[in-house]
Amino acid sequence: MSKTAGCCQNCLHYVFDYETTKTLVIPSTLVGCVFRLAQLLILLYTVGYVCVVQKAYQDTDSVISSVTTKVKGFSLTNTSDMGPRLWDVADYVIPPQGDKSFFVTTKMVVTQNQVQSRCPQLPSPSTTCVDDCDCTEGYSNPRGSGIQTGLCENYSTTVRTCEVFSWCPLEIDTMPPKYAMLTAAENFTVLIKNSITYPKFNFHRRNILPHINSSYLNSCEFNRATDPDCPIFRLKHIVSEAGEEFQDMAVMGGIIGIIIDWSCDLDWWAGKCYPKYSFHRLDNKDPDHTVAPGYNFRFAKYYKTPDGEETRTLIKAYGIRFDIIVFGTAGKFGIVPTIVNLGATLAFLSLIPAVSDWFLLTCMKKRDLYRKHKVTYLSDDAHTESVSD
């Protein structure tokens, strides 16, 4: 019974005993250096990294952006199937009304005067035939040229293929041009108009900055050294800054990213919140993987003949797509993040005495003496008086 009572009493001590801090002054240079060094590291981390580098005292907001583009330039070509022809923005820029992405045609395969009729397919292992039994009426191969009629027709004097109902004559793109047609496209220019807002801070800005006037805009061209604020870019310079040669890229096409960074500090430098431009190639350029390289697509222009028949010109366009990517984060002083980070700093500082006590009671030669004076237990029937040196 006495043992049970003793155990209960010990448990009550652990539950209801009160511990209070005790100041123990130790004239030790080593412990003092450890204590002050820990404080210095905490302050350097808080002021140098948290405040200066991370700006954790600021509220932040992400940019909301709108972009429009306008390409200008002309190119003259002279080919056997089309003859001399002048190309302007209505011909080579897709879509006509530029948004965050626009495509500039540099090479094409043109199939003119197509009408909906019947014609034999291009020869391939899946389209060649001997008689009508090799062709299935109504069959449509998604990678073919149309819907089969069930007839086997002469494609040439030596080859027969299944006839299809399609836009005829069929496109022949097995031998696309090896060189870019619109070589002058490298000198085309694009005007990028970009408006951004940070709604949390009610901050609005355009990349056409307040000091830019009409006369400057009509004559300037972006140059990182001399005209970094001009929003007009020459396509050759964009591709060059992305680390590519325009004429090489124009043969098979590709994708270039125009990156606009609007990261700003709105506490002191709101008036100097300017866009920062950079350029990168976005599609994969790997010489070891040459399957489906570059960038191309098809579109058609439709016409009506005098007798009312619908015809079209099919164009398989190769070229460079330019994607405009806008990002950024703005920061401004906020009381809530400031209080949070101040509280975190005070919490770190409160841990320093615990670290110093651990060093004192673990690593010092007189740790037993320090432990004896560090912890004192007071009971109701005894009076313990601490001894100081």
CA proximity to 122, closest of 165, 170, 166, 167: 170
Question: Is 213 known as a binding-site position?
Answer: no
Which regions of the chain carry the CATH code 2.60.490.10?
62-121+170-331
Question: Is 67 known as a binding-site position?
Answer: no
Eight-class DSSP state of 256:
E
Confidence bin at 240 (pLDDT 50/70/90): very high
Rounded to a whole number of angstroms, the CA Rg of the chain reads: 38
Query: pTM, whole model, 2 decimals?
Result: 0.75
pLDDT of 389 above 60: no
The per-residue pLDDT for 296 is 87
Question: Is 371 known as a binding-site position?
Answer: no
Confidence bin at 234 (pLDDT 50/70/90): very high
Amino acid at 384: T
Residue the block writes with tokens 């306008």: 70
The three-state (H, E, C) secondary structure of 169-201, written as one string: CCCCCCCCCCCCCCHHHHHCEEEEEEEEEEHHH
Question: Is 77 known as a binding-site position?
Answer: no
pLDDT digits (tens, 9 = 90+) for 147-184: 999 999 999 889 999 999 999 999 887 776 777 888 88
Question: Is 71 known as a binding-site position?
Answer: yes
Q: Is-contact 190 232, C-beta < 8 A? A: yes
Question: Is 189 known as a binding-site position?
Answer: yes
Q: What's the topology of domain 62-121+170-331?
A: atp-gated p2x4 ion channel fold (2.60.490)
pLDDT digits (tens, 9 = 90+) for 246-297: 988 888 889 999 999 999 888 876 678 899 999 999 987 766 666 777 888 8
**What whole-number distance in Å separates Cα of residue 41 and Cα of residue 349?**
10
